[in-house]
Amino acid sequence: MLVGYMRVSSDSDRQSTDLQRDALLSAGVDARNLFEDHASGARDDRPGLTKALDFVQAGDVLVVWKLDRLGRSLSHLLTIIDSLKDKQVAFRSLTEGMDTTKASGELLFHVFGALAQYERALTQERVMAGLAAAKRRGRTGGRPPVIVDEKLDAILAALNGGMSKAAVCRNFGVKRSTLIDTLARIGWSGPSPPGTEPHAG
């Protein structure tokens, strides 16, 4: 059985699924087996797609007009096609001529998979290069500390002198979550013994 899926962006009320519907019907999809969404391709919650994926069974073929009607990204598209393969459901895209029931379509699917893996590797490489460059410049990942060293020294002195964390937050104008995170970062575990000087770590 051929099952069709259509999608148009909700950004424009003038858009309709007429073009996709005509193409899918011409390809042999029964009008009763058409599912559609009026939503951006970037959205996760597409009820029409969910219904289509729940509807297809082993031996069926999910048909779309173009690849970009189905997946919000290359990796998302491949995830959907993989899930279809697990259910023994084939996939066909009319515009690109991709058909996993044929050897050429299966090859194209593997090429897409290789491209997605290449894209992920490049992204990871750029992230690692950025972190390395930042480290060479003396910067590390994460948000910069909100409490500067001078204020932190005063806060530690107050805490070591017996002031409560709540009082410190009020007197120094620091959020409790910020204080807790900062103390955890420097490894402060409680007031210093008498005669011990506080330090920012």
Could you tell me if 94 and 164 lie in one domain?
no
Length of the chain: 201
pLDDT of residue 25: 95
Same domain, 162 and 91: no
Is residue 9 part of the annotated active site? The answer reads yes
Q: What is the pLDDT of residue 172?
A: 84
User: Does 7 lie in the same domain as 85?
Assistant: yes
Phi-psi region of 192 (alpha: psi -120 to 50; beta: other; left: phi over 0): beta
- What pTM was computed for the model? 0.55
DSSP annotation of 69:
G
Identify the domain containing residue 70 by its residue range: 2-101
Report whether 122 contacts 128 (CB < 8 A). no
In a domain, 136, yes or no: no
Total domain count, the chain: 2
Cα angle 93-99-101, degrees, rounded to a multiple of 5 = 145
* pLDDT score for 185: 82
State which of 101, 125, 156 marks the end of a domain. Answer: 101
Catalytic residue among 9, 83, 164, 177: 9
Strands 90-93 and 61-64: parallel
Question: Same structural domain for residues 7 and 87?
Answer: yes
CATH code (residue 18): 3.40.50.1390
Are 88 and 157 in the same domain? no
pLDDT of the residue at 132: 74
pLDDT at 200: 45
Domain boundary among 74, 101, 128: 101
CA pair distance 77, 92, nearest whole angstrom: 12
pLDDT (0 to 100) of residue 12: 52
Structural domain contains residue 28? yes
The answer to whether residue 69 sits within a structural domain is yes
Which domain-ending residue is among 101, 122, 153? 101
Same domain, 79 and 168: no
What are the mean pLDDT values of the chain's consecutive 10-residue runs (201 residues total)? 89 70 94 90 79 94 91 79 88 88 75 68 74 69 63 85 86 87 82 52 45
- Please check whether residue 123 lies inside any domain of the structure: no
Cα–Cα distance for residue pair 23/40, rounded to 1 Å: 21
pLDDT at 30: 94
pLDDT at residue 89, rounded to an integer: 93
